[in-house]
Amino acid sequence: MCTRSRRVARGPHLLHWLAVAARPSILAGLPKFRPGGFWLFVASAASSALLADHPLAASLTLNAGFVADLALWQPLSAILLFPEGHLSGLVGTLLLQWFVGGHLEGAWSTARYLTLVLVSAAAGYLALGLLGLAVPAALDLPTGGTLPADLAAVVGFGVVFGRQPVQMFGALPVSSRGLAAIVTALMLVGPLLRGNWPLTVPAAVAALCALALAWRWRGPRSSGKVAARAGGRRPRHLKVVEGRAATTPEPTRPRLLN
């Protein structure tokens, strides 16, 4: 009588599962989506999806009603509402608020970051509304969306991180200031190429406002005796204040799409 040995099928060893779990995730290198930028995107996406084709949108986007009906709330409400047919701008908001604004919000705080982007955007739309008093054609079409707020985040990013290198796809060497300049130029020229010149006005004013605020909020220069940075380099600007040593930490190096 012969018996056949049966092989018992066994599942993967526990060490195999641990090795699989230890593999780095594709999303591990992505920056953190900070709450300020995240909820700004969510609010603009929800309001635009629900109200862009609703009659109420005529009262919330910036248009001739700002002058004719004294709709003074429009420079504020227009920030979160894209006009009908322009919802594709939400893609740019998602990318810029996540990959650019997230670094700036992390270096500052959510309150300061939202103050920068919302005040700059409101100032931009207010400037367009006031321009409509002299040039009525500027308000012929409804204008709105987060483009001025996104541009304010980009400008603030360039001011705060300055010459720090940005890692894009692990290959493109560019400074934070250079990246901000390129994105700013594209965001200002884009509306002109599409024939929507009024949108350039709030974007340009928001960029200038963000530049002033970010320059003021970027923090005092390091003073006193400063320790060497990584790599042995020391800051060029040093100032001794009454023999007290004080240092201002630099923002962490931004990593975009690494």
Per-residue pLDDT tens over the stretch 46-89: 999 999 999 999 999 999 999 999 999 999 999 999 998 888 89
Nearest CA among 98, 81, 200, 84 for reference residue 145: 81
Per-residue pLDDT tens over the stretch 95-120: 999 999 999 999 999 999 999 999 99
Q: What pLDDT is recorded for position 238? A: 29
Domain at 28-217: CATH code: 1.20.1540.10
Segments of the chain scoring below 50 in pLDDT: 1-3, 5, 8-9, 11-12, 14-22, 221-248, 258
pTM value?
Answer: 0.76
